[in-house]
Amino acid sequence: MEKDKDIIEVIIDEQPTNNKKIKFAYWDNLAKDLSPLFIKVSSAICIVIVLGVFFVGFFIPKSDNKITKRLEKLQNTNSEYITAQNNYSSLSDEINTLNSDLADKKKNYEEFTTSQNGLEKINDENDKLEKEKEELQNTVNTKQSTLDSLNNQASSTSQSTLTLTSGTYAVGENIKAGKYTIMGSGSIAISSLGKARVNSNLTADGKDYVLNDDETIKIKGKAQFIPIK
């Protein structure tokens, strides 16, 4: 009512003579009155539309098969993706092969290290044995030298020692003249020109005698003649 009153006052004060001006004022005031309501209604409609689109998109069931087929189609038609996938698979295979080779090499290295350590121990044992062998060889050489010396002495003694049994022997024919150690069992007589200058018993320890050429030796028993050098 207050608005209508205002309109009447305007008309009375100004005393318009044109009906169009009166109508314009009326519609202008009406638009002002309806403007807040229009804004509210428009906002509500927009909100309803947005919510409707959201709920429709959220609750509409999607076909998994269609999505899967669409994805497969995209994957098959996308050459770059296929190439990248193939490269990835190849690289994965190469990495697996390298890891396998690395494991084998690591195992071989561990075995080599173990063998190397064992080889070093064997070498140390060999060095120790070689040293012992060298010491034993030196000992053997020393013993062998002593044995050779004894053998030479025995050989020389056996070759120069003369053993005579009971009988008569001529110096210069049956035995060389010289100085001898005579030992044995029984008796011995040494004579020159039929005259005896030695007539004694033989002993195991032996006695030293000088035999001259043209002398005669008579033995009863067994006697050994060892040259004295």
Residue 140: inside a domain: no
Mark whether 79 and 22 lie in a shared domain: no
Among 7-11, 67-71, 93-97, 127-131, the least confident range = 7-11
| Residue 122: pLDDT over 50 | yes
| Residue 87: pLDDT over 70 | yes
How many domains does the structure of the chain reveal? 3
Among 25-29, 47-51, 57-61, the least confident range = 57-61
**DSSP helix, strand, coil percent of the chain (3-state; round to 5):** 65, 20, 10
Mark whether 21 and 72 lie in a shared domain: no
Mark whether 127 and 167 lie in a shared domain: no
- Look up the domain containing 183 and give its range: 162-227
Query: Which own/partner contact pairs does 187-194 have at CB distance under 8 Å and 24+ positions apart?
Result: 187/219, 187/220, 187/221, 188/217, 188/218, 188/219, 188/220, 188/223, 189/217, 189/218, 190/215, 190/216, 190/217, 190/218, 191/215, 191/216, 191/218, 192/216
Percentage of the chain exceeding pLDDT 90: 27
| Higher pLDDT pick, 9 / 100 | 100
| Residue 8: pLDDT over 50 | no
Average pLDDT, the chain: 76
Residue 2: inside a domain: yes
- What's the whole-number mean pLDDT along residues 129-152? 76
**Contact of 211 with 178, CB cutoff 8 Å:** yes
What pLDDT, on the 0 to 100 scale, is given for residue 78?
63
Of 2-6, 48-52, 91-95, 115-119, the range with the highest mean pLDDT is 91-95
Percentage of the chain exceeding pLDDT 70: 63
| Higher pLDDT pick, 25 / 10 | 25
Mark whether 129 and 180 lie in a shared domain: no
Residue 1: inside a domain: yes
- What's the whole-number mean pLDDT along residues 144-161? 60
Residue 43: inside a domain: no
**Pick from 165, 224, 160, 171: nearest CA to 197:** 171
Among 7-16, 30-39, 122-131, 183-192, the least confident range = 7-16
What pLDDT, on the 0 to 100 scale, is given for residue 158?
47
**Contact of 182 with 223, CB cutoff 8 Å:** yes
| Higher pLDDT pick, 195 / 13 | 195
Residue 47: inside a domain: no
- What's the whole-number mean pLDDT along residues 14-25? 52
**Contact of 171 with 214, CB cutoff 8 Å:** yes
Residue 146: inside a domain: no
- What's the whole-number mean pLDDT along residues 2-13? 48
| Residue 129: pLDDT over 50 | yes
**Contact of 226 with 157, CB cutoff 8 Å:** yes
- What's the whole-number mean pLDDT along residues 176-180? 93
Beta bridge pairs of residue 186: 221
| Higher pLDDT pick, 10 / 51 | 51
Q: Which of 91, 115, 134 is the last residue of a domain?
A: 134
Residue 122: inside a domain: yes
Cα separation values, 177 from 87, 120, 158, 173, 180, Å = 114, 70, 18, 9, 9
Q: Which of 134, 152, 181 is the last residue of a domain?
A: 134
Residue 95: inside a domain: yes
Q: Which of 134, 151, 170 is the last residue of a domain?
A: 134
| Higher pLDDT pick, 4 / 68 | 68
